[in-house]
A and B are shown apart, each in its own frame.
Chain A
Amino acid sequence: MPFHEYVLRNAHRIMFLAAQHVQLVLLSVAVATAIGVGLALATERAPRLRSWLLSTTGVLLTMPSFALFGLLVPVLGLGLGPAVVALTVYAIFPILRNTVTGLETVTPAVVDAAKGMGMRSGQRLRMVRLPLAWPVILNGIRVSTIMLVAIAAIGAAVRGPGLGELIFRGLARIGGANALNEALSGVLGIVVVALLLDLSFVLIGRLTTPRGLHV
Chain B
Amino acid sequence: MSDVMIRLDEVHKRYDGQAGDAVAPLSMEIREGEFVVFVGPSGCGKTTTLRMINRMVEPSGGRIWIDGRDVTDVDPDELRKHIGYVIQQVGLIPHLTVAANVGLVPKLLGWQRDRIEARTAELLDLVGLDPAAFGGRYPKQLSGGQQQRVGVARALAADPPVMLMDEPFGAIDPITRARLQEEFLALQRRIRKTIVFVTHDVDEALRLGDRVAVFGEGSRLVQFDTPLGILTNPADDYVRDFLGSGAAVRRLGLLNVGDLRKPEPADRLPLRVSSGDSVHSVLERMLRDGADRVIIEGESTEDDRELTLRELLMAGSAR
The answer to whether A and B touch directly, with their CB atoms under 8 angstroms apart, is: yes
Instruction: Give chain A's interface residues, CB within 8 Å of chain B.
Output: 107, 109-120, 123, 127-128, 131-132, 210-213, 215
B137 to chain A, nearest CB (A): 8
Given contacts A113-B90, A215-B138, contact A119 B95 (CB under 8 A): no
* CB interface residues, B 52-78, toward A, < 8 Å: 54, 56, 76-78
Complex contact B87–A116 (CB within 8 A):
yes
B149 to chain A, nearest CB (A): 15
Complex contact A215–B89 (CB within 8 A):
no
Q: Which of B80, B90, B105, B138 contacts A109 (CB 8 A)?
A: B90
B141 to chain A, nearest CB (A): 6
Residue of B with least CB distance to A123? B108
Complex contact B93–A120 (CB within 8 A):
no
Complex contact A117–B92 (CB within 8 A):
no
B139 at the interface (CB under 8 A from A): yes
Given contacts A117-B105, A123-B108, A213-B94, contact A112 B87 (CB under 8 A): yes
A-B contact pairs, 8 of them (CB 8 A): A109-B87, A113-B91, A117-B80, A118-B77, A211-B95, A212-B139, A212-B140, A215-B138
Complex contact B77–A113 (CB within 8 A):
no
CA distance A76 to B96 in the complex (A): 47
Complex contact B91–A110 (CB within 8 A):
yes
Q: Which of B54, B76, B78, B94 contacts A110 (CB 8 A)?
A: B94
B205 at the interface (CB under 8 A from A): no
Instruction: Give chain B's interface residues, CB within 8 Å of chain A.
Output: 54, 56, 76-82, 85, 87, 89-97, 104-105, 108, 138-141, 151, 154
Given contacts A116-B80, A131-B95, A213-B94, contact A109 B89 (CB under 8 A): yes
CA distance A113 to B150 in the complex (A): 13
Residue of A with least CB distance to B105? A117
Q: Which of A113, A116, A215 contacts B140 (CB 8 A)?
A: A215
Complex contact A211–B138 (CB within 8 A):
yes
CA distance A123 to B92 in the complex (A): 16
Q: Which of A113, A118, A210, A211 contacts B87 (CB 8 A)?
A: A113
A89 to chain B, nearest CB (A): 33
Chain B contacts of A131 at CB under 8 A? 95
**Candidate in A107, A110, A120 with the most chain B CB atoms within 10 angstroms:** A110
Given contacts A123-B108, A211-B95, contact A115 B87 (CB under 8 A): no
CA distance A116 to B155 in the complex (A): 9
CA distance A119 to B138 in the complex (A): 20
CA distance A34 to B138 in the complex (A): 31
Complex contact A212–B97 (CB within 8 A):
yes
Complex contact B138–A116 (CB within 8 A):
no
CA distance A70 to B78 in the complex (A): 56
Q: Which of B54, B77, B89 contacts A107 (CB 8 A)?
A: B89
Complex contact A110–B87 (CB within 8 A):
no
Residue of A with least CB distance to B104? A117
Chain B contacts of A117 at CB under 8 A? 80-81, 85, 104-105, 108, 154
Complex contact B81–A118 (CB within 8 A):
yes
Complex contact B85–A116 (CB within 8 A):
yes
**Candidate in A109, A118, A132 with the most chain B CB atoms within 10 angstroms:** A118
Chain B contacts of A123 at CB under 8 A? 108
Chain B contacts of A128 at CB under 8 A? 93
Complex contact B56–A116 (CB within 8 A):
yes
Residue of B with least CB distance to A106? B94
Q: Which of A111, A116, A210, A211 contacts B54 (CB 8 A)?
A: A116
CA distance A116 to B55 in the complex (A): 9
B123 to chain A, nearest CB (A): 14
Q: Which of B81, B95, B105, B154 contacts A213 (CB 8 A)?
A: B95
Complex contact B97–A113 (CB within 8 A):
no
Chain B contacts of A111 at CB under 8 A? 91
A110 to chain B, nearest CB (A): 5
Q: Which of B79, B92, B138, B141 contacts A113 (CB 8 A)?
A: B92
Closest 9 pairs (CB-CB, A-B): A113-B91, A210-B95, A118-B81, A109-B89, A212-B138, A116-B85, A118-B80, A109-B91, A212-B95
Given contacts A123-B108, A212-B138, A212-B139, contact A114 B77 (CB under 8 A): no
Complex contact A118–B94 (CB within 8 A):
no
Chain B contacts of A127 at CB under 8 A? 93
CA distance A123 to B107 in the complex (A): 12
Complex contact B91–A107 (CB within 8 A):
yes
Given contacts A119-B77, A212-B97, contact A114 B108 (CB under 8 A): no
